[in-house]
Structure 1
Amino acid sequence: MPWTLPEPMLTDAVRSPALPASSAAEPKWDGFRAALSVDDGQVVLRSRRGTQMAPAFPEVVAGAAQLPDATALDGELIVWDTGGRLAFEQLQNRLHRRGPAALQAAAQQPAHFVAFDVLRLAGTTTLTWPYSRRRAALEKLFREHQLTAPWALCPSTTDPDTVREWLTSWTAAGLEGVVFKRLDSPYRPSVKGWLKYKVRETTEAIVGAVIGPPTAPRTLLLGRYDTAGHFQYTGRTTTLPQTVGRTVAALLTPAEAGHPWTGWSFSAGWGSRETLDVTLVRPELVVEVGVDVARDGSGRWRHPARWHRMRPDLFPGDVTLFGSPG
């Protein structure tokens, strides 16, 4: 029976950066979660949503020749800019490139695969191993095979002082936060068994409608599902740069009959009676925005949310429920 990549193990947000007991910490990179496997020379590079990304990252596919056969890794795809910062937008722009365009991007904006877990090693499935054993095996893999770019070994520590240093010194380079993993924990697909502390005060929501031309929207209307499964309006973004609007538009799908917001009207602002002219879209694209603490009585954001980035790697079901503090 052919071996297939498992679903990724997931994280649950925490408010404290303190390292829990009997746990290790790893940096949370500003990139795309990815899993990679190599079997008989066939390389699978899969996003968290199950999308095959290998055609967009030929340098990673070529680098898989450094790995032993029948090996699979979990990690993060990242791109560095010339200033030594993580460049999420450059990484995002590479997702839809293929063929010569992908090869050109690989030469100009090479991606790295930051490995933080090993799921299979030379034919042996490692999912039931505790994190401490998987980590030791991952370090041995890098050491014995002398892995070089595009491979990078994610740091791991059990020292609280090192965690504090990461959160104070590495954030300038684009570090998102830290992930905590119990040393005795196996790899549990689809389970929120790891903890994540985020430095940036951002949150996710789902695009339900846009203002402006559908080919280059100027503002996004955002929603979240509530506990009953209803798609609730939670707020709108500030005005998007034109380049962002065009990029977002490429990932939006026109609404079908029965959109949850059909017949709704949206106010132009807090306390305003002016309504907005909006275009409904299928509620499937997740975006990350910065919001403040101001809420109305229903829990909606009173002020426009600051655009941060798209999150095509997330499902709508990954987004915090409407009315929750996150």
Structure 2
Amino acid sequence: MTWTLPEPMLSTPTPRPDLPPGMAGEPKWDGYRALLSIDAGRVELRSRRGTDLRAAFPEILTGAAQLRDGTAFDGELVVWEEGRLAFERLQQRTQRRGAGAARAAGEWSAHFVAFDLLLLNGNDTTSWPYRRRRTALESVFSARRLTAPWTLCPSTTDQDVVNEWLTWAAIGMEGVVYKRLTEPYRPGARSWLKYKPRETTEAILGAITGTLAAPRTVLLARYDTSGNLQYVGRTTTLAAATSASIAPLLTRSSGEHPWTGWTFSAGWGSRETLDVTLVQPDVVGEVGVDVARDSAGRWRHPVRWHRPRPDLSPTDVPHLEPR
């Protein structure tokens, strides 16, 4: 009887960066969560939602030859490009198959960053406490002398190390995950803690979803260094009171808008396009964002609207800076 990959253990946000007592911290990678096993000679590679990723990442399957049969990892698939984690390359790779996937593996090779051990020598280790699983995971890497595409995720109980990791936003680290040292691996449970640094900044209102009288979300913009108005991200759904406060500031675009003819995706990897209304790009807002950005400098995750900034003009807003 073969072993079956469990559901991944999950995290819940925490507002504080402090390392909680009795927990270890690990960097949060800007990649795709994945679980991998090799059992009875069969390799499995699945996403957090159960999607089979084997065809898209042939180099991971080839790399499984380094592992002993009866081994399973939980971890993150990442692509490293020009000194940073390149999520957009990783996303492009998930659509490739066959010869296209093989070419992409050569151009944008992926690594599997292992942060948990679920199966060892055919024995299920999910009931073990984190501390024991972590020691065993390190032993697998040292005993097998694993090389690319395998990478061992760092782990620490030192707050100074956590503080250093939180300065790595420029290379694509999204924050820190905290795991209780005595806790087993609990499939589907949100028992880990996730801290993601956020910053407050400004952006220009370029378009909305919903109606001018009741905007639902705001599409945000910044000028690039050439003076072109570029899309940088979209807010989360606005609360009713927030929507009502923004509506009087909006003016439907008259004449040619810099975004005329553009289409906007509903989200990363989505084929759904948004129904938007272009507005005069003369209103500035204060927003809260996390550190995840693509190579063009756009915010990858939904943005939190804070308040209008009538004291600022669009020229006061920071320029869009590619990473």
- Residue number among 281, 292, 305 corresponding to 1:292 in the alignment: 305
Question: How far apart in 1 are the matches of 2:62 and 2:262?
Answer: 32
Please tell me whether the aligned partners of residues 66 and 147 of structure 1 are also in contact (alpha carbons under 8 angstroms): yes
Deviations 1:212-252 (A, max 9, x none): xxxxxx899877699xxxxxx999xxx98999947969733
Instruction: Please list every run of 5 or more consecutive structure 1 residues that lacks an aligned counterpart in the other structure.
Output: 212-217, 227-232, 256-260, 270-286, 296-306, 308-326
Deviations 1:182-234 (A, max 9, x none): 100100111111001002459xxxx99999xxxxxx899877699xxxxxx99
Give the C-alpha shift of residue 42 in structure 1.
Answer: 1.6
Relative distance call for 1:94 and 1:242 in structure 2 (3 A) is farther
In the alignment, what sits opposite 1:79? 79
Question: How far apart in 1 are the matches of 2:176 and 2:7?
Answer: 21
SS in 1 for 2:305: coil
Matches within 5 A, 1:270-285: none
In the alignment, what sits opposite 2:205? none
Give the C-alpha shift of residue 165 in structure 1.
Answer: 1.2
SS in 1 for 2:138: helix
In the alignment, what sits opposite 1:251? 270
Question: How far apart in 1 are the matches of 2:81 and 2:110?
Answer: 10
- Residue number among 183, 186, 190 corresponding to 1:185 in the alignment: 183
In the alignment, what sits opposite 2:170? 172
Please tell me whether the aligned partners of residues 201 and 291 of structure 1 are also in contact (alpha carbons under 8 angstroms): no
Relative distance call for 1:254 and 1:60 in structure 2 (3 A) is same
In the alignment, what sits opposite 1:115? 114
Give the C-alpha shift of residue 291 in structure 1.
Answer: 2.6
- Residue number among 197, 200, 219 corresponding to 1:199 in the alignment: 197
Please tell me whether the aligned partners of residues 34 and 75 of structure 1 are also in contact (alpha carbons under 8 angstroms): yes
TM normalised by structure 1 equals 0.68
Relative distance call for 1:51 and 1:200 in structure 2 (3 A) is farther
Matches within 5 A, 1:54-203: 54-82=54-82, 84-168=83-167, 170-201=168-199
Q: CA RMSD in A?
A: 4.1
Please tell me whether the aligned partners of residues 34 and 48 of structure 1 are also in contact (alpha carbons under 8 angstroms): yes
Give the C-alpha shift of residue 100 in structure 1.
Answer: 0.5
Please tell me whether the aligned partners of residues 210 and 219 of structure 1 are also in contact (alpha carbons under 8 angstroms): no
TM normalised by structure 2 equals 0.68
In the alignment, what sits opposite 2:3? 3
Give the C-alpha shift of residue 40 in structure 1.
Answer: 2.7
Instruction: Please list every run of 5 or more consecutive structure 2 residues that lacks an aligned counterpart in the other structure.
Output: 201-208, 211-215, 219-230, 247-257, 281-299, 309-319
Deviations 1:4-38 (A, max 9, x none): 11000000101111000011100001111100011
Please tell me whether the aligned partners of residues 210 and 220 of structure 1 are also in contact (alpha carbons under 8 angstroms): no
In the alignment, what sits opposite 1:276? none
Matches within 5 A, 1:32-47: 32-47=32-47
Give the C-alpha shift of residue 174 in structure 1.
Answer: 1.1
Question: How far apart in 2 are the matches of 1:243 and 1:85?
Answer: 29
Give the C-alpha shift of residue 120 in structure 1.
Answer: 0.7
Give the C-alpha shift of residue 290 in structure 1.
Answer: 2.4
Relative distance call for 1:200 and 1:223 in structure 2 (3 A) is closer
Hey, which bits of structure 1, 4+ residues long, moved more than 4 A? 207-211, 218-226, 239-250, 265-269
Give the C-alpha shift of residue 107 in structure 1.
Answer: 0.4
Question: How far apart in 2 are the matches of 1:164 and 1:219?
Answer: 28
